[in-house]
Amino acid sequence: MMAIFDGHVHLSDEKPEEYVEALLRAMDRNGVGRAIVFGVQGDPEAPDSLASSAHKRWPDRFTPFTCELDTEHPQMAEWLDERLSEGDWRGLGEIFVTTNDPVMTYQTSDGETGEFRYPVPANGPLDPHFGEVFEVCAKHGIPALVHCDDEEVMETLVSRHPATTIIWGHADWYINSVRRLLGGYPNLICDIGTGLHFAALDHAEKNLVEDWLAVWVPLLEEFAGRISFGSDLFEWRHLEPDENADCAYSLLERVTSQLSAEAKEAWLWGTLQKALGEY
């Protein structure tokens, strides 16, 4: 199987060293050669240091993005500019721009329950002050991976910042806009893969797998080089990435068996490598 470059992996903050080692085992089992990793924006227990540490230990396997962006900081653009001038950061993200579910509950491995409130911009995602962040990314030549549940906001972002490569995280769910936005904005990359993963699980949306294939296989061919793979692996405060990782990665063959060699290579590796300026 062709090597896979996973562009969307969160690191667990409960036992980070053990989690990364378990993640590596899952990657090795499934032919995943490399992953873009980050913590969780707005969660002090999942800081940038998780991604930085993983990269330092395995520089060829983990590519670190910084996500410690405080959207209420009066000098957040200046802070990000300084941040990107030091260390090995290759991108910004995942940054929460808008979300339909402002609060997420989670459970730790010892059974405790907590809540996480997504740190969306307090003054709105289209506030010019927040927009300066994307100009900083353009200055440093790095991509910005965003979580955006509002398709109109997403279009405004990519149109206002044409010099910034913006990756629309888990874009599977916005098929009504994807073709139009990819056709109109060359700075946009769509990160897909989670829709296939969740649709295949044993719940009410399981029947969406075939619909997912019918929609995305033609788009992967039409926009080869503009769509990247992202599993969105995320086991918040748990040391069990293996099961979800194996599920996400094993489903890829159902898609790639229907793709041309060019589209397959672009989705599984080449799009991200190009976004990072590696060719």
Smallest Cα–Cα separation from 237: which of 56, 131, 113, 90? 113
Please say whether the beta carbons of 190 and 176 come within 8 A.
no
pLDDT at residue number 129: 93
pLDDT at residue number 131: 96
Residue 225 has pLDDT above 60, yes or no: yes
What's the number of CA atoms in the CB half-sphere (13 Å) around residue 269?
A: 16
pLDDT at residue number 209: 63
Segments making up each domain of the chain, as ranges:
4-275
In angstroms, how far is the first alpha carbon of the chain from the final one?
22
- pLDDT tens column, 149-161: 999 999 999 999 9
pLDDT at residue number 180: 95
Query: Which residue in this structure is represented by tokens 């410690």?
Result: 68
Say if domain 4-275 classifies as CATH 3.20.20.140: yes
Residue 200 has pLDDT above 60, yes or no: no
At residue 111 the predicted structure's pLDDT band, cuts being 50, 70 and 90, is confident
pLDDT at residue number 37: 97
